[in-house]
Amino acid sequence: MSVGADTVEAMDPAIEAIDLVKRFGDHTAVDGVSFAVPPGSVLGLLGPNGAGKTTTVRMMTTLTEPTSGTARVAGYDVRAEPDQVRRHMGLTGQVATVDELLTGRENIRMIGGLYGIRRRALEKLGDQLLQQFSLTEAGDRVVKSYSGGMRRRLDLAVSLLASPPVLFLDEPTTGLDPRSRSELWEVLRGLVAEGTTLLLTTQYLEEADQLADNIVVIDQGRIIAEGSPLQLKQQAGRASLVITVGDAADLPAAQDLLRRTGAEVFVDAAARRLTASADGLDDMIAVAGWFRDSGIGVDDIGLSRPSLDDVFLSLTGHRTDESEEVGA
Ligand SMILES: Nc1ncnc2c1ncn2[C@@H]1O[C@H](COP(=O)(O)OP(=O)(O)O)[C@@H](O)[C@H]1O
Ligand SMILES: [Mg+2]
């Protein structure tokens, strides 16, 4: 963003969770969650199955009342001004809400009618949305015949009928094939470019990495980490510097050289590869200079950062894909 820090601070958040708690009987599903999402940005709410993502979204979208705490959407309080909140947000749930027995176009007519959009304007808007989501031809077929990716796109199109400034997406790409997933990502990037504020939940670290400006990681109803994708990766550990020398005979000299960074150096002789932890680009540039001056031939030099999957493992002690799929 090109706006100065003062401007950012002056802007009220588009979405705000304030110490949200939700209990079901004696089970606490969401346990004191707070965060703020600046207008026009994307927050990724990341966590495994059962972490409390859907419950958090349901509280923020007025579908269920918080046990304690509250949330604000577009400046309106979900407890005090639920109608205003609904008027300023769109929601695409984990389960598609479109009617299977109607065509795509009929779904748009029905929901648009509920929003009170006039028929003429609705036809035009419907055409636009169907085209934007590559559903023009499918628009006259019943939704029953759609693929999973087409259903999600129609669902999203329908939730955009009211042009909401704030959009909540609960696991928008779960169950989609990689191609449908990246198509949907493109659509979402387009919405954000036009100024929509997005909160999306996901179990996919890659998805949060691809789309989110900021990530809140939750597990068992609590925030366990937050930051930009890069900050989270840095938190998971230092980067590694990986160097492949051209000639195995140079390995001992290369090892001595790399030790000058102060890091322990691991040598894989068969691969002619040396690995050492490093702080980042500065380390890499220094090391590259030493190698150039030494005359040791280098085939490859690179910096490898921990993945978000490594982040989750280091934070929770388990990987995200270990949890059982328990359905919606
Ligand atoms: N209506 C409900 N009644 C009782 N427990 C619920 C209800 N909804 C969710 N839960 C429980 O709350 C926890 C969080 O669920 P949920 O918010 O759906 O997680 P996520 O969306 O991250 O998978 C889970 O343990 C789930 O079983
Ligand atoms: Mg969920």
Ligand 1 atom with minimal separation from the 25 CA: 4
CB-CB contact of 96 with 147 (8 Å): no
Which pLDDT belongs to residue 96?
A: 62
- Return the structure tokens found at 312: 């989750």
Q: Which CATH class is domain 5-88+164-234?
A: alpha beta
Which pLDDT belongs to residue 106?
A: 95
Please state, for a pLDDT cut of 90, what percent of the chain lies above it: 59
7: pLDDT strictly greater than 80: no
Residue 93 DSSP code: -
Which pLDDT belongs to residue 29?
A: 98
Which pLDDT belongs to residue 322?
A: 55
> In the predicted model, what is the mean pLDDT of residues 191-209?
90
Mean pLDDT of the chain: 88
Ion ligand 2: residues, CB < 5 A: 53-54
265 CB near ligand 1 (under 6 Å):
no
Ligand 1 atom with minimal separation from the 24 CA: 4
Residue 12 DSSP code: P
Residue 278, burial from CB neighbour count under 10 angstroms (0-12, 13-18, 19+): buried
Residues across the chain: 328
Which pLDDT belongs to residue 162?
A: 79
Sorting pLDDT into bands at 50, 70 and 90, what band is 66? very high
d(CA 151, CA 89): 20
Strand runs labelled E in the chain: 15-24, 27-37, 42-46, 68-73, 76-77, 89-92, 166-170, 197-202, 214-219, 222-227, 239-245, 265-268, 273-278, 298-304
Residue 137 DSSP code: T
Residue 306 phi, psi (nearest 5): -65, 145
Which pLDDT belongs to residue 278?
A: 85
For residue range 163-172, list pLDDT tens digits in order: 889 999 999 8
For residue range 36-46, list pLDDT tens digits in order: 999 999 999 99
Question: Which positions ≥6 away from 123 have C-beta within 8 Å?
Answer: none
**Which is nearest to 28 in space by CA: 69, 87, 77, 62?**
69
Please state, for a pLDDT cut of 70, what percent of the chain lies above it: 92
Which pLDDT belongs to residue 325?
A: 43
Sorting pLDDT into bands at 50, 70 and 90, what band is 320? low
Which pLDDT belongs to residue 324?
A: 44
d(CA 254, CA 252): 5
53 CB near ligand 1 (under 6 Å):
yes
148: pLDDT strictly greater than 50: yes
For residue range 270-312, list pLDDT tens digits in order: 999 999 988 778 888 999 999 999 999 999 999 887 776 777 7
The residues spanned by each domain of the chain are: 5-88+164-234, 239-305
Sorting pLDDT into bands at 50, 70 and 90, what band is 328? very low
- For the chain, state the CA radius of gyration: 24
For residue range 229-243, list pLDDT tens digits in order: 888 877 777 788 999
3: pLDDT strictly greater than 50: no
69 CB near ligand 1 (under 6 Å):
no
Sorting pLDDT into bands at 50, 70 and 90, what band is 5? very low
32: pLDDT strictly greater than 60: yes
> In the predicted model, what is the mean pLDDT of residues 14-34?
98
51 CB near ligand 1 (under 6 Å):
yes
For residue range 91-132, list pLDDT tens digits in order: 887 666 788 999 999 999 998 888 888 999 999 999 999 998
Residue 322 DSSP code: G
Which pLDDT belongs to residue 48?
A: 86
52 CB near ligand 1 (under 6 Å):
yes
Which pLDDT belongs to residue 13?
A: 96
> In the predicted model, what is the mean pLDDT of residues 18-43?
97
> How far does the centroid of ligand 1 lie from the alpha carbon of residue 69, in Å?
18
Determine the topology of domain 239-305 in CATH. Alpha-Beta Plaits (3.30.70)
Which pLDDT belongs to residue 92?
A: 86
Sign, Cα dihedral of 19, 24, 25, 29? negative
